[in-house]
Amino acid sequence: MVRIMKLLTRDERPPGEEPVSDLVPEPEVSRAKRVRVSLAAACAPLLFSYTAVALVLAVVSFTADRSRFSATGALLAAGPGWLASWQVELELGGHPLGVLPLLPTLVVAWLTARAAARAARRIGGRTPADAVPVVAVIAGAHALFGVLIAMLTAGSPIAVNPLTAFCVPGLLAGLAAVAGVAKVCGLPAAVRDRFDPVAVHGLRAGALGLAALIACGAVVFTVATALSWSTVDSLFESGFGASFGMFVLSVAYLPNAVVAALSFATGPGFSVGSLTVGMFGYREGRLPGVPVLAGIPSQHAVWWPVLLLLPALVGVLVGWKIRTIDEDPMLRMRAVAVAGALVAFGCVVLGTFAGGRLGDGPFDPVSVPVGVASVIAFCWIVLPGGFVAFFAGAHEPPEPPGEPEAEVIAEDVAVDEDAVETEEDEAAEPAEEPEAEFDDEAEAELARELGEDLDETPAETAPEQDGAVDDAVTESTDGSGDESAPGGDR
C-alpha cells in the first residue's frame, strides 16, 4: 500500500523543472488599470507638492509682520513656488532669480520616485520595458503642468519662460521616476549586463566618493556655523514673523550651502557677488543677512589648507574600495579613473544647481566654479585613490588566457605516455599461467556421477598395464630363443 501511494504521489517532472502550479502565469493587468495607475502616480506627487508649497507660503505670510494673509494669494503664488522647487528660473519684476533652494527639489524628487515605484509594483512591472509608460506619464504630466503655470503667470510680476517651465520639470521628474522604478523593474541588473564589470565597480566607488565629499562639505559647514553662532543668533532677533521666515529660507538653502562648503574644502571655493572665498585666496565683499551664510569667514586664515586632508582621505577611501576588485593593477587603475569621472560629473551637476543669478544687486551672482571644481575633484579621487588601489592590491598580473589550458594538455599527454609505457612493459613480461583452481563441490558432484573414487582409479589400472608389458617381453624372448636353438643344433 505504501508503494502504491508513493507511485501515485511521485513527481514525474524532470529535474530542475518548475512545478505546474508555479508555471501558471500571473493574471495580466488590463490596459485601463495601467493608465489609471500611471495617472495617479503622476498627479499624486504633483498635487501634494503644490499643496505643500502653498501651505508654506501661507504660514510665512500669516506670521510675517505688517502683512495681510490671503488664501487666494497663497494659492496663486504657489505656482511659481512649485516651479522654483523644480529649479525653474523666475523673474521677479524683471530681475532674474536663478539661485533656487535645493531642499524642496530633493523633497519633490523623492515624492515622485516613491510614487513611480508604487505604480510599477501595482502594474506588476518586472522588466525595464514595463517602466517606460510610468516614467513617460510622470514626466509628461509635470512638463504640462509647468507650461500651464507659466501661461497663468503671464502678465503678473512673476514671469517664467514657457520652454524652461516645460523642459526642466519634465526632465527632473523623469529622472526621479527612473530612480524610483529602477529596483522594481530590474534596471541595475540590465545595466550590469551591458557594462564592463570594472566600470561597474568604478561607478560604485565613485558614488561612494561623491557621497563622502558631500559629507565633508556638511562637516565643514556645520563647524563654520557653530563657530559663528553669535552671528546666527543676532539674525533671529527681529521678531517672530521675520525670524520664522529666515529659518524657513535657511533650511531651504541648506543643501546649497553644503555644496559651497564642498567646493571650498576641495580648493576652488565659491563666490557671492564680489565676495570670493577660496582655499588660497580671499576677496572681501558684502553678504546678505541670512543665517545660512553666517559661517562665511570675514578674512583668510593660514590654516585653511589643512582642510585639504578631507578630500585626500576621500580619494584614499575610493582606492581602498577598489583595491580588491581584480588582480591586475591596470584594471584597478581604470576603475579609479571611472570613479573620478563620476565624482567630477556629480560636482558639475551640484555646482550648477547650487548657484545662479540673484537679481541685479551686489549679491549677484552666486556661483561655484564648476569647471575648475570638477577637474580638482577628479584629481582628488584619481591621485590618492590610484596610489592606494595600485599598491594595496595584488601586484602580479593574471596569467594570460591559454597558458593554463596548454599546461593541462601537456599533463594529459604525459599521463598518456606513462600509460603507454606501462602497457608495453606489461606486454614484454611473460604471461603467467593461471593456477588451476578446483572447486571441491564440483569434484564431489563429478565423483557421484561416475560412481567411483578419483583417488583409487590410477592404482587399479597400473597393475594391468604392468602385466601387459611383462607378457610382451616374454613373448619376444621366446621367439628369439627358438630362432637361436636350430643354430645351436647345427
Give the confidence band of 72 by pLDDT, cuts at 50, 70, 90. Answer: confident
List helix spans (H) across 153-196.
Answer: 162-181, 187-194
Cα separation, 147 vs 175, in Å, equals 19
Least confident of 22-31, 128-137, 170-179: 22-31
Residues in contact with 25: Cβ distance below 8 Å, sequence separation at least 6, in sequence order = none
Domain boundaries, the chain: 31-193, 197-392
DSSP per residue over 391-428, as a string?
HHS--SPPPPTTHHHHHHHHHHHHHHHHHHHHHHHHHH
Residues in contact with 289: Cβ distance below 8 Å, sequence separation at least 6, in sequence order = 235
**What per-residue confidence (pLDDT) applies to 433?**
47
pLDDT tens digits, residue range 371-401? Answer: 999 999 999 999 999 999 999 887 765 555 5
Average pLDDT on 131-140 reads 94
Residue with cell 543665517: 291
> Using an 8 Å Cβ cutoff, are 129 and 186 in contact?
no
| CA-based nearest residue to 362, from 281, 294, 272 | 272
Most confident among 18-32, 53-67, 165-179 (mean pLDDT): 165-179
> Using an 8 Å Cβ cutoff, are 370 and 356 in contact?
no
**What per-residue confidence (pLDDT) applies to 195?**
83
- Burial (0-12, 13-18, 19+ Cβ within 10 Å), 421: exposed
State how far Cα 489 lies from the chain centre.
136
Residues in contact with 298: Cβ distance below 8 Å, sequence separation at least 6, in sequence order = 284
pLDDT tens digits, residue range 177-209? Answer: 999 999 888 888 888 888 889 999 999 999 999
User: C-alpha cell of 482?
Assistant: 627358438
Query: Sheet harboring 158-160: ordered strands across?
Result: 95-97, 90-92, 158-160
| CA-based nearest residue to 218, from 365, 102, 363, 371 | 102
| CA-based nearest residue to 386, from 324, 308, 333 | 333
Read off the amino acid at residue 359.
Answer: G
Residue with cell 515622485: 112
Q: State yes or no: pLDDT of 173 exceeds 60.
A: yes
Residue 162 carries which DSSP code?
H
Per residue, the 3-state secondary structure of 356-367, as one string, reads ECECECCCCCEE
**What per-residue confidence (pLDDT) applies to 70?**
74
**What per-residue confidence (pLDDT) applies to 218?**
96
Instruction: Give the three-class secondary structure for 197.
Output: helix
**What per-residue confidence (pLDDT) applies to 27?**
58
Q: Cα 65–66–68 angle (5° rounding)?
A: 105
Cα separation, 172 vs 43, in Å, equals 15
Residues in contact with 59: Cβ distance below 8 Å, sequence separation at least 6, in sequence order = 244
pLDDT tens digits, residue range 315-347? Answer: 999 999 999 998 899 999 999 999 999 999 999
CA distances, 150 to each of 105, 249, 267, 270, 367 (Å): 18, 24, 39, 32, 26
- The overall average pLDDT reported for the chain is 80
Cα separation, 485 vs 490, in Å, equals 9
| CA-based nearest residue to 319, from 338, 306, 305 | 338
Average pLDDT on 251-270 reads 94
Percentage of residues in the chain having pLDDT higher than 70: 74
Long-range contacts of 241-246, Cβ-Cβ distance < 8 Å, separation of 24 or more:
241/63, 241/64, 241/65, 241/67, 242/64, 242/65, 244/59, 244/60, 244/63, 245/60, 245/63, 245/64, 246/290, 246/291
- Dihedrals phi, psi of 91, to nearest 5 degrees: -125, 115
Average pLDDT on 414-419 reads 50
